[in-house]
C-alpha cells in the first residue's frame, strides 16, 4: 500500500520528544571520553595537571585570547572573575533580571549587591537603555548575560501569546513532547533575591509568563523537530 506523505513523515503518529537527550551524543564520544578518563585515573591528576593545562591552552587558542583558566563550573568562573576585579562588600554589580540565578549568586557570594536591570523586549538580553539609571557611585561591574536569551543556541525559547503558554505546554506534554521554562520568575521575584528588587522590570516579568523552551539538542531528529513544529502550529491555530 502506498503511504501518504503524512504517514511517511510520521506526523500523524505520536512521538516522544525529550527536552534533552544526550545519550546518542555520548555513544558517539564514549571511546574518547573513556580513554581520557582512564588517562586521568592512571596519572591520578584530578585537580590541575597535564590534561587541564592542555585544555586551557586549546581553549585560549580557540577564543583567540592569551590565557584561559580552567575552573570547576560556571558559577566559580563568575565568582573568580568578580574577585579578580577586587569586587566585594559595598560594591554593586549590575546584571539582567531574567538570567539564571547563578549570576546573582556569584555577585552575592563575592560580598557585593546585585542590581537587576530589565530585559530588552526584542533581544531578551539586558536593556542597554535602562542600564544608566541603575548606575550609582558604588557600581563596579556589569554582567550582561546571553544565556537566558532567545538568540542563544543552548535553549530554543519561543514566546507565546499571553495566556496561551501553559495550554501549549500541556498540549505538547499530552502529545509526548517535554518542554521547559527558563525561567518561571525573574531573579528579583524569587524569595532568595527579592530583597535586592530596586528598579521595576516589566519586560522580564511579562516574558516569564510567555516563554517556553522547546526541545533542542545536537542529536534531535528531523522527524522530531517537524512533529514539534506541527503540534505548535496546530495548537496556535486551534486557539486563534
Ligand X SMILES: Cc1ncc(COP(=O)(O)O)c(C=O)c1O
Which residue lies nearer to ligand X by CB, 99 or 113?
Answer: 99
Strand, coil or helix: what is 192?
A: coil
Give the range of 18-26, 32-40, 73-81, 191-199 binding ligand X by CB under 6 A: 73-81
Distance, CA of 64 to chain centre? 24
Closest distance of CB 229 from ligand X, Å: 26
99 binding ligand X? (CB under 6 A):
yes
Tell me how far apart the alpha carbons of residues 115 and 95 are, in angstroms, rounded to a whole number.
Answer: 6
**Binder among 48, 49, 50, 74 for ligand X (CB under 6 A):** 74
Segment interacting with ligand X, rule: CB under 6 A, options 94-102, 186-194, 195-203, 214-222: 94-102
Q: Which of 5, 8, 73, 237 binds ligand X (CB under 6 A)?
A: 73
Residue 94's beta-bridge partner residues?
115, 142
Burial class (CB in 10 A: 0-12, 13-18, 19+), 108: middle
Is 102 a residue that touches ligand X (CB under 6 A)? yes
Q: Which is nearer to ligand X, 79 or 212 (CB)?
A: 79
**In the bound complex, what is the minimum distance in angstroms from residue 55's beta carbon to ligand X?**
15
| 190 forms part of the interface with ligand X (CB under 6 A) | no
Q: Which residues contact 36 (CB under 8 A, 6 or more apart)?
A: 51
Q: Which is nearer to ligand X, 77 or 225 (CB)?
A: 77
C-beta nearest to ligand X: residue: 74
Position 103 contacts ligand X (CB under 6 A): yes
Nearest in space to 100 (alpha carbons), one of 146, 50, 141:
146
Using the structure block, give the residue that is written with the C-alpha cell 514539534.
Answer: 228
Minimum distance, C-beta of residue 196 to ligand X, in the bound complex (Å): 17
Size of the site for ligand X (CB under 6 A): 9
On whether the CB atoms of residues 110 and 86 are closer than 8 A, the answer is no
Question: 213: buried, middle or exposed (CB in 10 Å: 19+, 13-18, 0-12)?
Answer: buried
Identified binder of ligand X from the candidate list 60, 71, 75, 150, rule CB under 6 A: 75
Helices (H), the chain: 5-9, 23-43, 50-63, 74-84, 101-109, 128-134, 165-174, 202-208, 222-238
Asked if residue 200 lies in contact with residue 118, where contact means CB atoms within 8 angstroms, the answer is yes
Give the residue with the Cβ less far from ligand X, 171 or 183.
Answer: 183
Ranges within 115-154 binding ligand X (CB under 6 A) = 145, 147
Q: Which is nearer to ligand X, 75 or 139 (CB)?
A: 75
Report if residue 9 touches ligand X, rule: CB under 6 A: no
The binding site for ligand X (CB under 6 A) comprises 73-75, 99-100, 102-103, 145, 147
Amino acid at each position: 500500500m502506498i503511504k501518504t506523505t503524512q504517514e511517511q513523515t510520521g506526523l500523524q503518529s505520536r512521538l516522544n520528544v525529550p527536552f534533552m537527550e544526550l545519550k546518542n551524543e555520548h555513544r558517539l564520544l564514549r571511546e574518547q571520553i573513556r580513554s581520557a578518563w582512564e588517562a586521568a585515573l592512571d596519572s591520578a591528576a584530578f585537580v590541575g595537571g597535564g590534561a587541564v593545562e592542555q585544555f586551557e591552552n586549546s581553549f585560549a587558542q580557540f577564543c583567540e585570547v592569551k590565557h584561559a583558566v580552567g575552573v570547576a563550573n560556571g558559577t566559580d568562573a563568575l565568582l573568580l572573575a568578580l574577585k579578580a576585579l577586587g569586587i566585594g562588600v559595598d560594591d554593586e554589580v549590575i546584571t539582567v533580571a531574567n538570567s539564571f540565578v547563578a549570576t546573582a549568586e556569584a555577585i552575592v557570594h563575592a560580598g557585593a549587591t546585585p542590581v537587576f536591570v530589565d530585559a530588552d523586549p526584542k533581544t531578551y538580553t539586558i536593556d542597554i537603555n535602562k542600564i544608566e539609571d541603575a548606575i550609582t557611585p558604588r557600581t563596579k561591574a556589569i554582567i550582561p548575560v546571553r544565556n537566558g536569551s532567545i538568540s542563544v543556541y543552548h535553549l530554543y525559547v519561543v514566546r507565546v501569546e499571553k495566556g496561551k503558554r501553559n495550554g501549549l505546554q500541556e498540549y505538547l506534554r499530552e502529545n509526548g513532547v517535554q518542554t521547559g521554562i527558563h525561567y518561571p520568575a525573574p531573579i528579583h521575584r524569587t524569595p532568595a533575591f527579592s530583597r535586592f528588587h530596586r528598579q521595576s522590570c516589566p519586560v522580564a516579568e511579562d516574558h516569564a509568563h510567555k516563554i517556553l523552551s522547546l526541545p533542542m539538542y545536537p542529536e534531535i531528529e528531523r522527524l522530531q523537530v517537524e512533529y514539534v513544529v506541527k503540534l505548535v502550529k496546530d495548537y496556535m491555530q486551534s486557539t486563534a
